[in-house]
Amino acid sequence: MRDIIAGFVRFQKEVFPAHKELFKELATSQTPTALFISCSDSRMVPELVTQREPGDLFVIRNAGNIVPSFGPEPGGVSATVEFAVAALKVSDIVICGHSDCGAMKAIATCACLDTMPAVKSWLRYSDAARMINEAQPHADERSRVDGMVRANVVAQLNNLRTHPSVSLALAQGALTLHGWVYDIETGSIEALDTDTGRFVPLAEHQSAKESNGG
């Protein structure tokens, strides 16, 4: 905790003054362009990986980068998605999984979660991904976990489409969904190619080509 407090002191003395005008603008409004949904894992920091400034991303982080399907009793994730789309009018939503994800590893290896009932219940939102991943051949445990990470990104994108605000924005052509997987060791990102259902290096993905004028 001492290190965290020391970090804040450095921020207040060194970082904040250099961005004073930015924080002055952000004090009364925000206009993020994207909603970024990632895992709570301490090794995955959306703003660092994407090199975004404060105010650029609206972020949801939870165990397994999960988005429950829309239901009669919406929770915090549903409310945040709705606010991002309906109120902030974000143009893009990214669901980003990552390598060595503890949540996905627990599912892929059938780890006993009896001592963590809340986690066990939460991960049921990845049941569709689990069934798809179990139906695929895997050479080893790492391959099984990697497959689960990718299947989960696809499953959560499908869950996301059940949210009324998302469905409307998609129908109006005002929103684009993205599925990413970040590799911690190499710093690389693979993106879902919806035409083929495969994950390809982000630099080779159509969205990257369009952003570079390709």
One domain for residues 68 and 135:
yes
Structure confidence by residue, pLDDT tens digits, 172-194: 999 999 999 999 999 999 999 98
21 class by beta-carbon count within 10 Å (0-12 exposed, 13-18 middle, 19+ buried)? exposed
Residue 87, number of CB atoms within 10 A of its CB: 10
Question: Cβ(65)–Cβ(7) under 8 Å?
Answer: no
Q: Which two tokens stand for residue 100?
A: 């060595």
Separation between Cα atoms, residue 121 and residue 67, nearest integer Å: 14
Percent of the chain with pLDDT over 90: 91
**Residues paired with 38 in a beta bridge:** 61, 96
User: Rounded mean pLDDT of the chain?
Assistant: 94
One domain for residues 12 and 93:
no
One domain for residues 87 and 23:
no
Q: Which domain holds residue 19?
A: 1-30
pLDDT score at 204:
81
pLDDT score at 210:
60
205 is in an annotated binding site: no
Separation between Cα atoms, residue 143 and residue 153, nearest integer Å: 16
110 is in an annotated binding site: no
39 is in an annotated binding site: yes
One domain for residues 19 and 50:
no
One domain for residues 17 and 106:
no
Within 13 Å and on the Cβ side, how many CA atoms surround 55? Answer: 12
113 class by beta-carbon count within 10 Å (0-12 exposed, 13-18 middle, 19+ buried)? middle
Q: Which two tokens stand for residue 82?
A: 């709705």
Structure confidence by residue, pLDDT tens digits, 35-86: 999 999 999 999 999 999 999 999 999 999 999 999 887 799 999 999 999 9
Q: Which two tokens stand for residue 12?
A: 């207040």
